[in-house]
Amino acid sequence: SGLWVPQRPPPRRNRKSSSMRGMVRENIVTPRDFIYPLFIHEEGSDNVPIESMPGCVRHTMDSVLKEIEESVALGVTSFVLFPKVPENVKNNLGTESYNPMNLNNRAVREIKSRFPDVTICTDVALDPYSNQGHDGIVKDGRILNDETINQLCKQAVSQARAGSDVVAPSDMMDGRVGAIRDALDAEGFTDVSILAYTAKYASAYYGPFRDALDSHPGFGDKKTYQQDPANGREALIEAQLDELEGADMLMVKPGLPYLDVIRRLKDNSNLPIAAYHVSGEYSMLKAAAERGWLNERDTAMETLMCFKRAGADVVLTYYAKQAAQWIKEDLGY
C-alpha cells in the first residue's frame, strides 16, 4: 500500500497467531485454581433446583458425592460446603453449628471417606444455623462479637473433627481468626488451614446465595460487621490483622466488582489470595446468556481469567465444574 508507520516495537507482533499469543500469555486458568461451592440438604430425597441460580441445586448426600466424583474427573479437587439447615434446629446461639451429627459434618465425613485426597473447606458462621439470619448472636438488635466468636470456635473444631481440611470463617467478627487458630491448635488440629473471609463486603450481590440457603437476615442488614463497599484501604487493615492472627489464605468477596481489592491484597501480602465469584455475579451472567445477550462460555472464562490477572491464586466459583469441562475441551482431551 506504500504506507508505513514507524514504530518499534509494534505490540501486535506478539498477537499475530494463536500460538504466539499462547506463548506470551501472562496468566492461565486451570481446574486446580477452583474451589467449587456446593449446597447440600436433607429435606426430601431429590435435589432442589435454585431458581435464582440456574444450573445450581441443593444436593442430596448421594448427589453431592456424584457431583464431586465427576468434578474430580475433570481436575477440580477443592470444594466448599454450604448446608441448608432445617428451621426446627435453628436458634439465636447457632448451637446446631457444632453438633457432631449435623448435616455439614456428616457430609464432610462421607466425602472424605470416599475421596480422601480432595480438599474440603467448610464455612464457619452462624447465619445458616441462626433463627435471626445473622452471622452472630443477636442481643437487643446488635450482633455480639466476642460471644459469637466463642460459638465459632466450637463450630470450627467440630468441622475439623469431622475431617475438614480448611475452615473458612465468613462471619467478619473482629478477632475470630486468632481465636479459631488457638482453638484448633489446642485440640490438636494444627494441620487444619484457615481461609479467612478477609474483605467481605456488605454487598447486594449475595441475594441468590441467601435464596439457596434460606438465610436472609431476619431484620436489618449486615453493615455493622461486613465492610462498606465504598472502602478499599480498609481491606488492608483486615488483611494485616488476619495474617497476624494466623490465617493461611485471604479472601475477597464479592469478586468481579472488587478486583481492585484483590490487587491491593496481592500487593501487600505474601499469603495466597482467594476471590469469591459470588452468586449474584454468576446469576447475572446466566441470565444474560439465557437471553442470548452474552456468549456464556467466553464470558465466564474471561471472568475467571480476570480474577487471576488481578492477583487471585484461588477462585471460588459455581462455574468450577463447567469451566473445567470447557478447559478440557479447549485442550483437546
Active centre residues (catalytic): 200, 253
SS (H, E, C) 72-113: HHCCCCEEEEEECCCHHHCCCCCHHHHCCCCHHHHHHHHHHH
The C-alpha atoms of residue 277 and residue 55 are separated, in whole angstroms, by 15
Cα Dmax for the chain: 80
Got the DSSP string for 99-168? -TTSHHHHHHHHHHHH-TTSEEEEEE-SGGG-TT-SSSEEETTEEEHHHHHHHHHHHHHHHHHHT-SEEE
Which of 254, 123, 95, 278 lies closest to 195 in space, CA to CA? Answer: 123
Which of 115, 105, 114, 117 lies closest to 163 in space, CA to CA? Answer: 105
The C-alpha atoms of residue 172 and residue 222 are separated, in whole angstroms, by 10
Three-state DSSP class for 11? helix
The C-alpha atoms of residue 333 and residue 329 are separated, in whole angstroms, by 6
The C-alpha atoms of residue 64 and residue 70 are separated, in whole angstroms, by 10
As given in the structure block, the three cell numbers for residue 199 are 474483605
- Inter-residue contact 168 to 121 (CB < 8 Å): yes
Pairing state between β 314-317 and 142-144:
unpaired
